[in-house]
Structure 1
Amino acid sequence: MANEKEMNEILDKFHSEIPGFIAASLVDLDSGMTLAVRSNRNDFDLAVASAYNSELVKQKQKIMKALNLTTHLEDMILTLGDQIHFLKLVTPGTFIYLAADRSSSNIAIVRTVVNKYSKPLTV
């Protein structure tokens, strides 16, 4: 796992390369706690969003188990009216949560940038 400085550098890259970047965090799946955060908006409660999204990931994993799927969860894309929310599992116990403005960005850009820089978090 990357150290705190490396985690923050990765989130800074998301901020600089994703148009409409709102916020991003590295989240511990079991506890829902953030390990690193970066946000452009004071009104976006990243701790709360990260915690609830950890529940979303856990529920999807339960669904996959109930369906006897033998694959693994890579990422989840949620599109809201004005935002894109992207969750990428980087280890079995951590995931990246990122939010971006839909009017400035698109799913392909978000996914490409997150995949480009998330590799150091998988080790």
Structure 2
Amino acid sequence: MNIETALKEAMAIDGAVGAALVDYDSGMTLGAAGGGPDLNLEIAAAGNTEVVRAKVRTLESLGIDDGVEDILITLHRRYHLIRLLERGGPARLFLYLALDRERSNLALARHHLRRIEGELSI
């Protein structure tokens, strides 16, 4: 599946507010869907890039030989889910999904993102 289709499928997840595919070397989005006045996906992508970089550096500093599957940031009204993509090549990417807590099921959202990751071709 291409990026546009992957983002449309992410936005079809119950409670989805915004989704983006992000290159965490540059912090730039490769595609985005949703968002709005209270969720600027470009700013969210850049900020979440720093979160991912910090976690990866921390694991390296601790000598932990393991990879990050996903990162969950829980706010009062939203979940922010960051799913690192496991693929070869120089690009280091993550899927970012913002969810309305009242309308979403976190376990199902994680399951759907894992499926989208498996079908995504870049």
SS in 2 for 1:99: strand
In 2, the alpha carbon distance for the partners of 1:69 and 1:43 equals 36
TM-score w.r.t. length of structure 2: 0.89
Q: 2:58 aligned with 1:27, yes or no?
A: no
Tell me, yes or no, if the aligned pair for 2:32 and 2:41 is still in contact at 8 Å.
yes
Q: 2:5 aligned with 1:9, yes or no?
A: yes
Structure 2: runs of 5+ lacking an equivalent:
none
In 1, the alpha carbon distance for the partners of 2:30 and 2:102 equals 28
Amino acid of the structure 2 residue aligned with 1:115 = R
In 1, the alpha carbon distance for the partners of 2:121 and 2:66 equals 18
Counterpart among 61, 64, 72 of residue 77 in structure 1: 72
In 2, the alpha carbon distance for the partners of 1:51 and 1:122 equals 23
How far off its partner does 1:107 sit?
1.3
Partner of 1:93: 92
Number of residue-to-residue matches in the alignment: 118
Tell me, yes or no, if the aligned pair for 1:21 and 1:40 is still in contact at 8 Å.
no
**Structure 1 stretches of 4+ moved >4 Å:** none
Cα RMSD, aligned residues only: 1.6
TM-score w.r.t. length of structure 1: 0.88
